[in-house]
Amino acid sequence: MRCPECGNNEDRVIETRESRDNRYIRRRRECIECNKRFTTYEKIEDIPLLVVKKDGRREAFDLDKIRKGLYRAVEKRPISSKQIEQIAEQLEEMVSGSEREISTRDIGEYIMNRLKHLDKVAYVRFASVYLEFKSLEEFLSELQSLLKKED
């Protein structure tokens, strides 16, 4: 680290502390050349996870956006907030273990699979938005395949 007083590149660390929120490390240093003490901060660089949209655009992964979609899908259904948070947390774990990009298709399929086993109505609500049904026939086809799997 370059000394702000004399410009020397050699120093020694006197004290190291983590911030309260563990987002950075504060280090007290002393220049070997002029004995000037100074403070540096180290911060972990967050490389954002990107979501590749259907049209090819990329945007930052936003767990709150996913939660809102889940809560809309389960509105007035017998599903607890704990169950929704569990899906969101498991999705976050899944995407954090992946590469730096994930497609909306992978995210949507994961959520639909979880909702299908949790609540069929919530699944249909989410699928109707995610799959972007263009006609009533497409919607009915999805419902019929869901009903066949129930039998």
Could you give the C-alpha distances from 27 to 8, 30, 43, in angstroms and in order?
17, 10, 11
User: How many whole angstroms separate alpha carbon 132 and alpha carbon 65?
Assistant: 18
Q: For the chain, what is the radius of gyration of the CA atoms?
A: 25
User: How many whole angstroms separate alpha carbon 93 and alpha carbon 91?
Assistant: 5
Q: What are the pLDDT digits (tens) for 4-35?
A: 999 999 999 999 998 877 778 999 999 999 99
Is residue 3 packed enough to be buried (19+ CB in 10 Å), middle (13-18) or exposed (0-12)?
buried
When pLDDT is averaged across residues 41-46 and rounded to a whole number, the result is 79
When pLDDT is averaged across residues 78-93 and rounded to a whole number, the result is 91
Domain boundaries, the chain: 11-43, 50-150
Share above pLDDT 90 across residues of the chain, in percent, rounded to a whole number: 54
User: How many whole angstroms separate alpha carbon 108 and alpha carbon 139?
Assistant: 17
Quickly list DSSP for 84-104: HHHHHHHHHHHHHTS-SEEEH
Share above pLDDT 70 across residues of the chain, in percent, rounded to a whole number: 97
pLDDT of 151 above 70: no
Is residue 66 packed enough to be buried (19+ CB in 10 Å), middle (13-18) or exposed (0-12)?
buried
